[in-house]
Structure formats: C-alpha cells, structure tokens
C-alpha cells in the first residue's frame, strides 16, 4: 500500500485526549507503540477501561469526536478481514476479564468479553463443565474475539456453532448505550437478536462487553481414530457413511495435501464401555479401511497452518461448502494450486467448513484464489482469506456478499451510523 492509498486517521485533539484521561485515569490511557499498528496503520491511543460503563462512555466520546475505533481483545485475529479503512484508537477489553457468574446447576455462565477462553474453561472445569468450543489460540483468544470472528472448530459438528451456544449478550453501541438481549437480561433492545447479530460481525456493530453461554459437561473419556483413504472420493464416501450411521461421534474432519494421501479423523467422548462400543461399530462400518489410534493433537491441526514466519509467502483461507461437495472441492483446490505452481493443504470438517493453506510466490496467489472463489461461489460455497502476505496484490478478503448486503448496511447504519467501529474490515466495506 503506497502513501497515496494509506488509510487516513483523524487528528486526536488534546481536548479529546484529556476527556479520555478524565474518564479512565492516566493508567488506562497510553500512546501506541509500533506493535499496536493495525493493517500498517498506526493508531494514536490505546484505551483500557475496567468496566462496561467506562467502555461505553469512552466509545461515546470517540464517536462524537469522529474517531475510528479498533477493538482488541487478545489481538490474535486483528488481521482477519479487509485492512481497516481508518484507525485512531484501540479500545481494549483486556481488563474486562472476569467470569461474572457460573450458574453450574443451570449449565450457564456469564463472562466478560476480555476473559481468555482458557481462563474461562479452567473456571468451568472446577464444576466438571465446559464451553464446548475449540477456537484457535485459547490461551490468548478472548470471549469477545471468538464471538466477533465466529471462530469455532471441529466440535461444531456435535455442539453447534457459537450462535447456538450463546444465549445472551451485552454490547456497547457507539452512542454510549449499553444494550442487552437474551438470557440474564438487564435491558432489552426490541427487534434485534443481538447474540446472533454480533457473532461473526467482526466488531462492526458494537463492542461485546459480556456474554452468557449454555454449557456442557466435561467428557469422562475421549478417544480418536484416523482412517486412511486413497483419494478425496473415498474420503467423502467415508465421511458421509459415518454421518449416516448410528455412530455418536462429536467431531469428524479430513486432511488433504499435495504430498500425501487423505485421512479422516473421528472423535468420540463418553464412558470407557461406550467408547469401546463406538470403536467396534466404526471398524465394522469401515471394514476395508486402515483404522489407527490418533493423538488428540490432530484436533489442533488448523493451528499448525499458522506456524510460519512473518516473511513467509503464505495464504490461509476459510472455506464453506456443502458436505456432499467435499471431493469436488478438493479437486478444484488441486487444479487452482497446480496451475499457479502453489503448494497446498486443506483441513475440512464434516460440517462443510474448512481451511486452506497455500504456499508459494505471492504473485501467483491472486489468480489461484480468484479462480477457486469463483468456482466455490457457483456451488453455493464461499472462500474468505484470513491471512495473506503484505506483498500480495490487493484482494478482497470476503468475496460476494450475495443479496444480504443491503440488509447488512441497514443494520450497520442503525447501530453504527458514523462507521466508528472497525471501519472497512467486514463484507462490502462495512
């Protein structure tokens, strides 16, 4: 990005700075450092409120001052989406990090947005419970961050997506309103299902300050198996056969790459006797396949996609397809990558969501991604680019928004009419 196209920021006046200090205190307002840069744009201040009201009031001041606000929890996914159009302030939820109420008898928890997933799970485990999700980097990722990015993994097959697990939310709107919806309600906002609306909105509608989730018991025991198959067609047949069977699996995923034959992983949870019965049923169902025990680390496979140096020429994309199109999708990936001389590997969940890693020359990514996205969208799927090298030609992260863009713009205009929050990162430049 050259100087002429660099996103522009609003000058932060001394009066605005002093308002933030008066509201939050000098220890909660600091100048940014180079490590705070977002999409090569340098914000001017980092604000760290300690409660919801402080956060809402700080957001109102920023909104009235015409400042662009970047939301940050653990900072693990700030690069997801398109580069931000402007960045004046970073509004951090790091100090809103408490588990407010664990109603273990009701299988619910109320937690602040800045609490890490790992810290939340450790608290819930004291009563033998969990939030049944498997996001990236749980030791750093925050509740607000995983909700904003809708980050879930293979457990989604059994327990549902975050939209299915969240039952209440409180958000701060740019005008300073604290609005709640769903369980544990203080103030309702009629007409909006806020928990589902803000999940996956990339922080462009409001700042999540707390959330209420339904919980599940911790499993007594777990076991995983890997099924070796010879090609993507066999992988798809195995996945569909398992899905159509009476197996009580909680996760199912397939690995593909240019250099190895595919494998299918399956995860079971339950009692020892139950797991033995599931294993026997699996072997009966897949008699002709080679089945082996798999380490639990296979369920962190997508995290390995991000194990590269900052200088690596790598693209990571999230794919959505119909499960019945698995083999066809892998063939499309292979053709697109081969034609652009790119190394590739993919991890696909039985839900139809998956991950794609491309490695090679940055000059070749654009053509491969354009071709693959076009074919996937024709099939009713999608491709979102979550990481790309800085020297890659400009490429929209999201692809076609379909016929929902007008509605999304209307909601954005209602909740954030000045485009204060994370401007430009979401679909259609929202």
| φ, ψ dihedrals at 346, nearest 5° | -145, 145
**Residue 208 counted as domain residue:** yes
Residue 394: both structure tokens together: 């400009």
| φ, ψ dihedrals at 251, nearest 5° | -155, 150
Domain count, the chain: 4
Domain that holds residue 61: 10-94
Find where tokens 């292979």 sit.
334
Find where tokens 């509740």 sit.
143
Residues 16 and 87 in one domain: yes
**Residue 227 counted as domain residue:** yes
**Strand, helix or coil at 409?**
helix
Q: What is the pLDDT of residue 141?
A: 97
pLDDT in tens for each of the 430 residues of the chain? 443 344 455 678 899 999 999 999 999 999 999 999 998 889 999 999 999 999 999 999 999 999 999 999 999 999 999 998 899 999 999 999 999 999 999 999 999 999 999 999 999 999 999 999 999 999 999 999 999 999 989 999 999 999 999 999 999 999 999 999 876 543 444 556 889 999 999 999 999 999 999 999 999 999 999 999 999 999 999 999 999 999 999 999 999 998 899 999 999 999 999 999 999 999 999 988 999 999 999 999 999 999 876 667 999 999 999 999 999 999 999 999 999 999 999 999 999 999 999 999 989 999 999 999 999 999 999 999 999 988 888 899 999 888 889 999 999 999 999 999 999 999 988 8
pTM above 0.95, yes or no: no
Nearest Cα to Cα of residue 115 among 130, 133, 97: 97
Residues 225 and 152 in one domain: no
Residues 196 and 296 in one domain: no
Domain CATH number, residue 149: 3.30.465.10
Q: What is the pLDDT of residue 188?
A: 44
279/266 Cα distance (integer angstroms):
10
174/190 Cα distance (integer angstroms):
18
Q: What is the pLDDT of residue 185?
A: 42
Residues 183 and 255 in one domain: no
Which of 217, 243, 265 lies at the terminal end of a domain, its last residue?
A: 217
**Element at 217 (helix H, strand E):** strand 216-217
427/430 Cα distance (integer angstroms):
6
Is 325 within 8 Å of 381 (Cβ atoms)? yes
Residues 89 and 150 in one domain: no
């Amino acid at each position: 990005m050259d100087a002429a196209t660099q996103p522009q920021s609003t000058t932060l006046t001394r009066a605005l700075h002093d308002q933030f200090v008066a509201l939050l205190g000098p220890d909660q307002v600091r100048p940014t450092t180079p490590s705070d840069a977002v999409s090569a744009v340098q914000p001017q201040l980092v604000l760290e409120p300690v409660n919801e009201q402080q956060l809402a009031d700080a957001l109102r001041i920023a909104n009235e001052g015409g400042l662009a606000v970047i939301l940050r929890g653990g900072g693990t996914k700030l690069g997801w989406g398109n580069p931000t159009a402007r960045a004046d302030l970073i509004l951090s939820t790091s100090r809103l990090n408490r588990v407010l109420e664990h109603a273990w008898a009701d299988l619910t928890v109320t937690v602040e947005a800045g609490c890490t997933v790992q810290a939340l799970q450790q608290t819930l485990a004291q009563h033998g419970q969990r939030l049944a999700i498997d996001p990236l980097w749980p030791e750093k990722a925050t509740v607000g961050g995983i909700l904003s990015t809708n980050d879930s993994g293979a457990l989604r097959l059994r327990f549902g997506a975050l939209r299915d697990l969240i039952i209440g939310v409180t958000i701060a709107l740019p005008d300073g309103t604290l609005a709640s919806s769903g369980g544990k309600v203080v103030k309702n906002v009629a007409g909006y299902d806020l928990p589902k609306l803000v999940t996956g909105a990339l922080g462009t509608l409001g700042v999540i300050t707390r959330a209420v989730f339904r919980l599940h018991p911790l499993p007594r025991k777990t076991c995983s198996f890997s099924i070796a198959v010879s090609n993507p067609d066999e992988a798809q047949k195995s996945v569909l056969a398992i899905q159509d069977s009476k197996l009580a699996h909680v996760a199912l995923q397939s690995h593909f790459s240019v250099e190895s034959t595919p494998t299918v992983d399956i995860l079971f949870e339950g009692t020892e006797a139950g797991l033995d019965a599931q294993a026997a049923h699996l072997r009966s169902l897949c008699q002709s396949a080679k089945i082996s025990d798999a380490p639990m680390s296979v369920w962190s496979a997508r995290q390995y996609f991000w194990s590269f140096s900052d200088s690596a020429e790598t693209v990571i994309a999230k794919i959505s397809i119909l499960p019945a199109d698995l083999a066809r999708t892998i063939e499309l990936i292979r053709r697109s990558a081969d034609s652009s001389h790119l190394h590739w590997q993919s991890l696909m969940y039985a839900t139809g969501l998956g991950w794609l890693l491309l490695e090679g020359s940055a000059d070749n990514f654009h053509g491969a991604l354009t071709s693959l996205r076009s074919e996937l969208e024709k099939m009713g799927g999608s491709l979102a680019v979550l990481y790309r090298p800085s020297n890659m030609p400009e490429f929209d992260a999201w692809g076609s928004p379909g016929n929902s863009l007008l509605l999304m713009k209307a909601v954005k205009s209602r909740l954030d009419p000045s485009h204060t929050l994370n401007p430009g990162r979401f679909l259609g430049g929202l």
